[in-house]
Chain A
């Protein structure tokens, strides 16, 4: 994969929410990229800024939330020009086209993303009609085809169902069908399986992987579940309190986590292999409150490896080896860090 061929990349992105109590910084200098045809897992705990990052890519931040600085470069095709989504006027035609036909998004709770008063078929057809010049009948036929392609059984019948008539897994499939209706280049999947049972989760993850195989779709998979990442992602970006603390190809990340937070996160998961009876190694403390964010490393107050420097200066993301990046002052010298870009 040529390094430059990213469907989307953010550079030094900062997202703020002005509140009565002061300025809440949700995302603080975030740089990440999704390569063409790749599945990138964006992991972190609640409030770390992962969902807000996804929303910012579609300029769907709820005001007063705003992109304060940085860029979001979207490049629909290998040879096309990249567009800085962060700078597009919010009512521009270009942004409207990107939403749906360029980038689309699915959410955790499929029921709240569907309107209860129209059938599934009508809702998918509507998305198609907005973005293309075809007849209603053709749009409906396309909707049925999409439902079939995401594994909805008897799609002709299901297209006539209202959302409440479908199960959670089927609703999520319908939502994926809608997200795919205008052949987007990038799918942002925000906790797509969190509300689903494990057996259904396995089906939806399999569907996402097969869509990538069949249509080269790039996927940003936002999740808190390391199991989901281990299952489906090619690369992983770990966020903590609004910053990226580590990013690496999936096997590297799990075999050789560098950042103390990533290590702690992996150790605090009850291991599937062995370890029964052994105590879980919990990370002490909690995520810092946005009102008093540490000046240095954001993980410093909870970190068992901290040194004086961690409290004073925030560590930059540095590169270790080919493509493994981590932001930590105390990663041992043997990994030989160099400043990333």
Chain B
């Protein structure tokens, strides 16, 4: 095990029981996340992409234990030794959780409107009894300046800020406990285009300055490509491809990745209109009744009989390139250059 690994997720699954009827009987199981494995190096940014309902947010919440995973392990490596976060409880869990913080999509819903910014950004410091009083005020001012706001902003309430500024407050709160890992769940999706770039630049500056590792969850491929070193593509609860961002975009190894790349419009009419499109028929199936075999096969133009039999495993194909497709070696798929 290389020592620079920060996080190792193995066999992580989350099932939600579905209840219905008068007696609230359990009628089905929704497998939101299934057998997810990946590792994250220190200082690395891993992107998790996929369409709505593919389980990317559930995965993020399982890693931080905001929801309890059904099975698997999430190991965090601090001072050389790995600890499975899922085995921790109470104060121990709180201590390890300080190392991983989340930034949420909705900058309005994730900030308490009744609290001034000082309380919002300082809350993790108060809860964890890191500091209080003047020390807290100074630390909050420092954090606000770090994200491009000013110290005097701490006395204002969230409504006084624009969407981009609120997202900065959310980032300041995430940084308060000096975490090693930040999980950002669609951090710019709710922002306007011209403000997005400000927040993306801020995140990558902070990552470089503070040596953070970042898990960046998103659906916008151009942003993922810009921000991330490595990318994991999810489809219906499973990681179907993972690899270096440049590799996945230039030379996808899973047909779903190819389709996703082909569907995302490029902001250049000349290039966009020349592209040959792979139009996927149909829509993502419900995770309540996935098809047998590879979950993607009903929409896949490369599907063969073998695809209907077993769920393909995520296999290593080359250095830092894995895909869960039985035809991964023989297919020549188109990326974007």
In the complex where A276-B226, A279-B201, A283-B194 touch, is A197 in contact with B219 (Cβ < 8 A)? Answer: yes
Q: Can you name the residue of chain A whose Cβ is closest to the Cβ of B299?
A: A199
Q: Which of A15-23, A27-35, A68-76, A260-268 contacts B (4 or more CB under 8 A)?
A: A260-268
Number of interface residues of A (CB under 8 A): 46
Q: Can you name the residue of chain A whose Cβ is closest to the Cβ of B194?
A: A283
A167 interface contact, C-beta 8 A:
yes
B108 → chain A closest CB, angstroms? 13
Complex Cα distance A250/B267, Å? 11
Provide the residues of chain B in CB contact with A281, threshold 8 Å.
197
What residues make up the interface of B, taking CB atoms closer than 8 Å to A?
51-52, 162, 164-165, 192-198, 200-201, 204, 219, 221-223, 225-227, 245-246, 259-260, 262-273, 277, 279-280, 283-284, 336-337
- Residue of A46, A197, A280 touching B52 (CB-CB under 8 A): A197
Complex Cα distance A271/B197, Å? 11
In the complex where A270-B223, A282-B198 touch, is A45 in contact with B284 (Cβ < 8 A)? Answer: no
- Could you list some 24 contacts between A and B, CB below 8 A? A46-B192, A199-B51, A201-B263, A202-B263, A202-B280, A206-B277, A224-B193, A227-B264, A230-B265, A231-B265, A251-B270, A254-B270, A264-B194, A269-B193, A271-B222, A272-B271, A272-B336, A273-B271, A273-B336, A276-B225, A279-B201, A283-B194, A286-B195, A287-B192
Provide the residues of chain B in CB contact with A145, threshold 8 Å.
none
Query: Is the CB–CB distance between B267 and A198 below 8 Å?
Result: no
Provide the residues of chain A in CB contact with B264, threshold 8 Å.
198, 227
Apart from A198-B264, A266-B267, A271-B267, what 16 extra A-B contacts exist at CB < 8 Å?
A46-B192, A167-B283, A169-B283, A197-B52, A198-B260, A225-B265, A226-B267, A227-B222, A254-B269, A264-B194, A265-B194, A269-B222, A270-B197, A270-B227, A271-B222, A283-B195
A121 → chain B closest CB, angstroms? 20
- Considering the complex, which residues of chain A in the window 245-300 have a beta carbon less than 8 Å from any beta carbon of chain B? 250-251, 254-255, 264-266, 268-273, 275-276, 279-284, 286-287
Q: Can you name the residue of chain B whose Cβ is closest to the Cβ of A46?
A: B192
A197 → chain B closest CB, angstroms? 4
Provide the residues of chain A in CB contact with B164, threshold 8 Å.
286
Q: Can you name the residue of chain B whose Cβ is closest to the Cβ of A206?
A: B279
Per CB-CB distance, the 10 closest pairs between chain A and chain B, nearest first, are: A227-B265, A270-B226, A282-B197, A268-B197, A197-B51, A45-B192, A202-B263, A280-B197, A272-B266, A226-B267
- Residue of B221, B223, B268 touching A254 (CB-CB under 8 A): B268
Complex Cα distance A239/B266, Å? 21
- Residue of A205, A254, A283, A286 touching B267 (CB-CB under 8 A): A254
In the complex where A46-B192, A254-B270 touch, is A198 in contact with B197 (Cβ < 8 A)? Answer: no
